[in-house]
Structure 1
């Protein structure tokens, strides 16, 4: 309507003045409701063409959309394992800091597992002391066996020397007995050496491995015990939380509530523009938003980035081929916006539904000394009509409360 009124002042109104004062035609006589089209046909036709051209020019170079919001992330409050709630430390709508305890689950089974694992560690420590004693005993047995072998060997060599000298003090039977005893003593030495090596291996390899395994089991039990206490992973606000002691929590079937991080969704808005504006939108482009959460207020923004893909083309593996004709709605070009000044949107809560206007600026191009006259005028016209779009946004911001509360029936 605003564009039509502006265009009529340049087309219909001059045409009427020409008919009235140059041709002498008067309203109610020559110019009536039935003859208006014929009498003002040039002005009406020009006004229609100019209005359509102006609207097209405005909405192409200064695009607008109502698909604007600030998306924020939520964290589902869930334990890693199922359990019955024993204690609740927070309330709904409470602000928590990172590391605060939210609630606890029954941990009697996990505590018993920790005690069992700790007892196993103590048992392995005791076994290490016994293994050390066994090594000392095996070492003593090995030393005794070696001493017995050396004694038997010396006795055999002495009596064998006498036997070789044909001494009547030594018999053949006694020499043979000593030879057999040497073999027996040597076998005893080998057995004692094997027992000593086995004791050392148990002390140096088996016991440390058993202790590592016991300590790993203890750590695992302690980790399982720690899972029974649910902490806030980051600072935020607890929402939809209605947990009571005695409730049974399942990580799949029943979440405890939602944590809205305090730093998510702040300072940035996402806007979905028509695909026709893909060649116009660019980082650094100025914009303005008006939100229902802050009526009658327009906030200056700047586009910091434009998504280089359109969401409607997203494909996920499935058992059917995707047919383009099944797309219900074309995707939008998503632009990311931040306030022009720091803290400019602190008054807008995350999730606010807004309207946005983006404005094309040709200031730098107009500074080119080699620019042609036609292009110079065209760029000036493009920049100038942006004021009309800015005025429309402000009209919408002023009328938003009345349109929503009175005419739409939503209270």
Structure 2
């Protein structure tokens, strides 16, 4: 993961690489999903918040049809692409994220010619904190302004989702891009994924003596392959058998009847989605009424559902959650698509050293790779920074 750089340092790196200054810098954050996992593509409810780790792109328009792209992450060199040949076959690796957004915008009729782009991101890749959506939203924000497209934040959400679905090949919903584009500091975004309606919910952790600790297990995952797509297919099968548009339309009272119509595995997948939607609604109600100290049990129940019904956890995530709970966390759960990535723990700020030490010790005793542990706070969404 990259260390933070000032906007001025990123601009200087761009100038060194490309020989001229950028037209501007745009930043978009990663996110933690407080609760509501895999409910987004089931047209349900989610409650993410942007974190204080972000992708930043410096961009300058060119007078030709060539795109030059460079990332500060890893050893990848500069990529040069002829935009007249831009297609699914010419977009791969990390450049699929920015080029996917450009491709979608061009498909929509937005006039984007050649450009130089430099990416610097502090969102860890593969950690379940939506590093890909951060890139997509930063790039979408940049070209929305530079090309004068005039798209709203909600429209940019769909641009990022379409790039993720059609170019990257990950069948994700709108959760990640919505968090990155719509968040404000000190709030979570309560999002209805069917209507795309949202409202900000106060999540002032510091004022309540709390923090959210992220435990990046270092078990990487990729949404474009494997279990994520299989879980989505199970949900679609469940909706089809139950005769509903999406699992959002199934209520908890209907679960006993659903059990008689579905095979056991599909039923477990459906039960997670139905109960998780209700946990999101309950969490929003509790935050509005009693504040963040009272939501811990809901977070922990969400993890149990993902572990047992949706089966997207892993040994490292379970160990992180169980250890945090045993050492003072008010609630804990895995966050993100699953099969690795990160867990989050809601803890009193005074307990942070004890929880950190306990998790590190537990991972070492189990022979797991040492986790990366850091605190996050609800941050501002995408914006121009220079």
Between Structure 1 and Structure 2, whose CA radius of gyration is higher? 1
Give the TM-score category using the shorter length.
under 0.3
Normalised to the residue count of structure 2, the TM-score between the two structures is 0.22
Normalised to the residue count of structure 1, the TM-score between the two structures is 0.21
